[in-house]
Chain A
Amino acid sequence: MSEAKKKAAASAIVDSVESLDALFVTVRAAQQQYASFTQEQVDAIFRAAALAANHARIPLAKMAVEETGMGVVEDKVIKNNYAAEHIYNHYKNTKTCGVIEEDKEFGIMKIAEPIGIIAAVIPTTNPTSTAIFKCLMALKTRNGIIISPHPRAKASTIEAARIVKEAAEKAGAPAGLIGWIDVPSLELTNTVMKEADIILATGGPGMVKSAYSSGTPAIGVGAGNAAAVIDSSADIVNAVSSIILSKTFDNGMICATEQTIIACKDVYDAVKAELIKRGCYFLNDEEKDKLRKTMLINGALNAKIVGQRPCIIAKLAGFEVPEDVKVIIGEAESTGVEEAFAHEKLTTILGMYKAENFEDAMDKAEQLLVNAGGLGHTSSLWIDNVKERAKIDAFAERMKTCRILVNTPSSLGGIGDLYNFKFPPSMTLGCGSWGGNSVSENVGVKHLLNVKTVAERRENMLWFRTPEKVYFKKGCLPVALDELKNVMNKKRCFVVTDSFLYKNGFTKVITDKLTEMGIAYTVFSDVEPDPTLRSAQLGAEAMRKFEPDCIIALGGGSAMDAGKIMWVLYEHPEADFLDMAMRFIDIRKRVYTFPKMGEKAYFIAIPTSSGTGSEVTPFAVITDQETGTKYPLADYELLPDMAIVDTDLMMSAPKGLTSASGYDAMVHALEAYASVMATDYTDGLAIRAMQLIFRYLPTAYEDGTNVKAREKMATASTMAGMAFANAFLGVCHSMAHKLGAYHHLPHGVANALLLTIVMRFNACEKPRKMGVFSQYQYPHTLERYVECAEACGVTGKDDQEIFENFLQKLEDLKAAVGIKKTIKDYGIDEKVFLEKLDQMSEDAFDDQCTGANPRYPLISEIKEMYLEAYYGEKK
């Protein structure tokens, strides 16, 4: 279209689909230009337009009343002023252009973009103020707007739009940004809704419905039907005058206006007397019936009574009331759909109900919403807001309305900013899904913008945590315990261990020392291997009786884990065990907030085997004796306060325990190193642990009396524990947990049988799925394993060869410490193994250790690995 044609189109009368199409072209061109305006330019235009509209508030009010024959000039002046001035003040500093929010630290930025062209449907009840409001909203958000006026209010609506348009253009807005239909018709309204980019529809339910059915995204708002509940505690004088003020405002045409009063029985008469005193008229039965017939015609509101004064309404109904009556009131009992007084009236008529009590008042308010309309819109409550908080809460919970106003005239209160200054001002009030709307708030600029979020990749915060104190060196136990008396002044100590260790005198060093220091103690020695919840509960019970201020857990993983669980149950008897056992990926984002530990007792862990690392980890594994399910608990609250690693306690460990737990420590180090959550701190510890295990595990296994080998293994196991306490484990442990549980293999052995197969799986440079963690950028597990290999003295001509040699070295270590090659070698029946395989694979996939593995496994891949570990070759 040529410039000249465009101009002609812009000034042409819009009365047909063709002229409307031409208008769209003009508005769109203007909007595209406007879309690049800066916040500063936009704000200047917004300001100029608001000023102009405010300036014209009186002529516009007069015009609206004259044209529609509804409402009150003075009140419409206030509405126009509100739509211009309050809206301006509320949004003048709001950012709506370009970057509206930025947080560099968290790497997030929000960018506001206009939507395009708004189709604005304007009602007869508030023609000029709604037009001003929507045009200003469009200007502030860099949108174009085409107004579809109501036929009965078109002149005043268009005039309001024209004033805003001219002021905006004078202030620099592109010409033609604001347009309207001159001769409205259903066809044109439907066309404008179809062609626009978003619909902002205010009006009756029929119109809102057609907006939502147009196929264009729509913000439509529903009908109101506010009931004002007056509680016995209310300030009646204030309530009555406020309701009258609200109800008479523009002759009751704001959608949030009170339509009924529900007063509690004990104050009903007082409310009624006050209403009469302040100029309300109570209808007799005959008048009520006449009015009912006039109000609703075939169930629809009679447009003639809308926005009228009582004397005029009475005349229409065929009776008389004095000129100065403010509101006509019909007392009613039924809250059903057939009762006209129950409906929205948009005029100076109120229905009034008597409630037995507050509960009944809420029932009635609810019935009115459901039966007579207004769901999602507004509710009002008059009450003593200091003493009756509980009732306010109950009311807020019960009402399915998006505005719940307390001690506030609902018409002026509902549109916001007048009686509550945090409540955004709007002439378009969303009613949520209850009202069939897409918005449940007062519609504002944010609903007219497309907001883009630019989220940059950020890495998670990392951490390194260990017990506050770790003591080690052969013979350190009694020395370390000195602190209990000297520094901590502990009085009562509870020792947890298993029966074997107790019977063989392992606890004697501790109890002798406690006696020497004069600390009272008791020993609980009923921990079984793979401790059950039942035994932990028994222990916690004993703790509650003994009331220790210090707990010492002595033993292998089983006793230390049992001690940790008893500690939780002792400190927090109310804690829900199943909640705590929830799976996690990031320990700090757990759904369950772990109870805070250490308020009652200080926790010391003393290992007697070298492997689990439990003395320095925030984990504990516990078995439910009923179902056999193993629950891994994980939270840094479970981290012991002190760990004492004394080699004296490990000298007698039998060969099987030494090899299985020693190999477990190797797997801890390797999985922590390959984990997606590995850090430099965990890497350093893990590598040292591997070096020590390769060097000293065979000796510790062959010659248990070799102090240096035992000592180095103890250190290696604790260091590997520190590494996986912070970097977590991987799928080898996931699979070992389930293999151990299904086929009763020792934990360390189960791990050893799977390790090299899992490593080969992880080392793949083209994994089907890679692990998810922000720090983990690309599959590099092969490189990581090669780093370990080289630190352990493995050589080769390239990475692949070094890796293969490393796997061989790990297999050699296995053989050297008497661990067999395959699962089959441990005498597990092939048929039984295959029967359980599918379930075992699925369970292993779901194990919490899977989350930190560098390669995200498929269940089928886990199954393949199990098969390979069973037969010793790929199947």
Chain B
Amino acid sequence: MSMQSFRMPEKLYFKQGCLPVALQELVDVYQVQRVLILTDEVMLHNGRLAPLTGALYDMGLDYAVNSESFAADCVIGFGFAQALDRAAAFAGDKPFIAVPVSAGGQMSIPAWRKADMFILDEDVCVPIPAGEICSHIAQTARASLAGANVSDYTLALSVQALRILFDKAHTTSALLHAAAMAQLAYTTARSDEVPTDNLFEDAAEALGMSVTELENQINSAVTAQHT
């Protein structure tokens, strides 16, 4: 393989309550006026959209929800993987902002790959039981360590995710970030080609444990939710 890459959304913003602060860039940097929000059907009825629409309203921006005919100059994907997949595909050359509500669980891979701005705000996320998040982190990190495009970059992120996972004192908020890091690593490392390299050994060493120990710990995290 003659070339490898590390791809990131241009901007990743995070921390509880960061959504309205980050969105300020729509006006300050992107200078948009009309925003199309693409979201899941359920979001229309459960009130979760309010912090987003409220922030857009406060900034004096025109917006429409799920109406693809709306002449928008910016697309925000808000919701679960499906809505974000759709938004990523729909955005084209327009600024694309991804606001997942499923941090800690499965997130849209096209959104990670295409977003100009990726916003992780716990306040808008749907709560997921800690056991499920742990299991998700373990699986994603494991998959990313065995991806076709693994590198020290993806290793660093997935190892950090595991470090948080294995830390007995982790908070839910730390777990959400760990899940996001594992996803980020996975998004870059994964490839449809057959894996050529395996960084399990390096990961174990970086975490100061043996490969068997690492495998055991990952396995027990994956299955933890079932017990």
Contact = CB atoms under 8 A, between A and B. Distances in A.
Contact of A458 (B17, B22, B151): B17
B206 A466 contact: no
Given A468-B8, A471-B3, A719-B152, A462 B160 contact: no
A613 to B, nearest CB: 13
A468 B10 contact: yes
A712 B152 contact: yes
Q: How large is the interface on B (under 10, 10 to 19, 20 to 34, 35 or more residues)?
A: 35 or more
Interface stretch (B36-44, B87-95, B173-181, B219-227): B173-181
Contacts of A106: 17
Nearest to B10: A468
B2 interface: yes
B58 to A, nearest CB: 11
A873 interface: no
Interface string A389-414: 00000000000000000000000000
A546 interface: no
B15 to A, nearest CB: 5
Interface in A462-510: 462-466, 468-473, 475-476, 479-480
A790 B8 contact: no
Interface string A677-694: 001110111011101100
Interface of A: 105-106, 458-466, 468-473, 475-476, 479-480, 596, 679-681, 683-685, 687-689, 691-692, 712, 715-716, 719, 790-791, 793
A472 B151 contact: yes
B208 A461 contact: no
B13 A684 contact: no
Contacts, number: 112
For chain A, what secondary structure do more than half of its interface residues adopt (helix, strand, loop), or is it mixed? mixed
Nearest to A458: B17
A241 to B, nearest CB: 39
A681 B15 contact: no
A715 B152 contact: yes
Contact of B14 (A463, A687, A715): A463
Interface in B1-31: 1-8, 10-18, 20-22, 29
Contact of B15 (A461, A473, A688): A461
Interface in B156-207: 156-157, 159-161, 163-164, 174, 177-178, 181, 206
Contact of B13 (A463, A471, A688, A691): A463
5 contacts: A106-B17, A465-B8, A475-B3, A684-B159, A688-B156
Given A461-B18, A472-B151, A692-B152, A479 B2 contact: yes
Contact of A462 (B4, B8, B13, B163): B13
B11 A463 contact: yes
Nearest to A644: B3
A715 B177 CA distance: 24
Interface in B114-167: 123, 151-153, 155-157, 159-161, 163-164
A459 B3 contact: no
Contacts of B177: 679-681
Given A461-B22, A468-B10, 16 more contacts: A105-B123, A462-B14, A463-B14, A466-B8, A470-B5, A471-B4, A472-B6, A479-B2, A679-B14, A680-B174, A681-B177, A684-B160, A684-B163, A688-B156, A719-B153, A793-B208
Contact of A470 (B20, B153, B181): B153
Contacts of A472: 3-6, 151
